[in-house]
Structure 1
Amino acid sequence: MFRRTFWFSTGVAAGVWATTKVNRKLKQLTPENLAVTAANKALEAGGRLKDRAVDFAFDVRDNMARREAELTDALGIDAPADRELPAARRRAAIENHNSPKNNPRYVEGSTYLTHPYNRNEDH
């Protein structure tokens, strides 16, 4: 009698355990949970990638400064570290020869006069 009770209770416990395990797995596989899991993993990966990119940028900057110092010493250049940038230059605007304002017949407020050689004119 005790043997049957033992195996019956063992079977019930195994059934409850298996049912609980299956229900948890099914909850994990719902579309909402899959979306949340994917979003969390993407955020973690983005954070790791950002940290590595920042570390890489610092390494590049440090090595660039070191190499610049080596080249400066090798070439004998004693340039100040904080040089000012040259003043910005103004560039002349390029004239558009096909513009109606360059046409001697153009009058302000009149309709658009086309040049006979204008390729952009609709034919």
Structure 2
Amino acid sequence: MFRRTFWFTAGAAAGVWATTKVNRKLKQLTPESLAAQAANKALETGHRLKDFALDVRAGMVQREAELEEALGLDAPVEPVPAQTRELPEPRRRGALGPSSHQTTHAIPTITYNRNEDH
């Protein structure tokens, strides 16, 4: 008699446990629950990316400071005294004003294609 009662109770408990597990899993698979889980994962991923970007930025600043120290670029700049020099006097033109054969000098432009270095 005790045997039957034990196995009946064990079976009922296993049934309740299995039913509870299945119901929890079904609730996790509803569209609302899946959307909430996706939103939470997206927020978590965003926070991780932000932390990664902050770590990269901190590493860049640290490395830049190391390079400046190694190259001596972080030394204080001493002010250079201003040197005065005399400018040449402008050339005098004829009495009629500037010549009609006057040419204009253009500043040459240098194009730089950053893909040429590769």
Q: TM-score, normalization: structure 1?
A: 0.57
Structure number with greater CO (CA < 8 Å, separation at least 6) is 1
Q: Which residue of 2 aligns with 1:15?
A: 15
Q: Which consecutive residues of structure 2, in runs of 5 or more, have no partner in the other structure?
A: 79-118
Task: After TM superposition, give the deviation of residue 39 of structure 1 in Å.
Answer: 0.8
Map residues 1-123 of structure 1 onto 2, 5 A cutoff: 1-72=1-72, 79=77
Q: Which consecutive residues of structure 1, in runs of 5 or more, have no partner in the other structure?
A: 81-123
Q: Within 1, Cα distance between the matches of 2:6 and 2:51? A: 56
Computed over aligned residues only, the root mean square deviation of the Cα atoms, in angstroms, reads 1.8
The amino acid of 1:5's aligned partner reads T
The amino acid of 1:71's aligned partner reads L
Secondary structure of 1:18's aligned partner: helix
Structure 1 runs (4+) deviating above 2 angstroms are: 77-80
Which protein shows a greater Rg?
2
Deviations 1:35-72 (A, max 9, x none): 11111111111111111110110110121122123223
Q: Which residue of 2 aligns with 1:102?
A: none
Secondary structure of 1:58's aligned partner: helix
Task: After TM superposition, give the deviation of residue 78 of structure 1 in Å.
Answer: 5.1
- Percent of residue pairs bearing the same amino acid type: 62
The amino acid of 2:17's aligned partner reads W
Q: Within 1, Cα distance between the matches of 2:19 and 2:31? A: 21
The amino acid of 2:53's aligned partner reads A
Please say if residues 72 and 78 of structure 1, whose CA atoms lie closer than 8 Å, have aligned partners that are also in contact. no
Q: Which residue of 2 aligns with 1:104?
A: none
Report how many aligned residue pairs link the two structures.
77
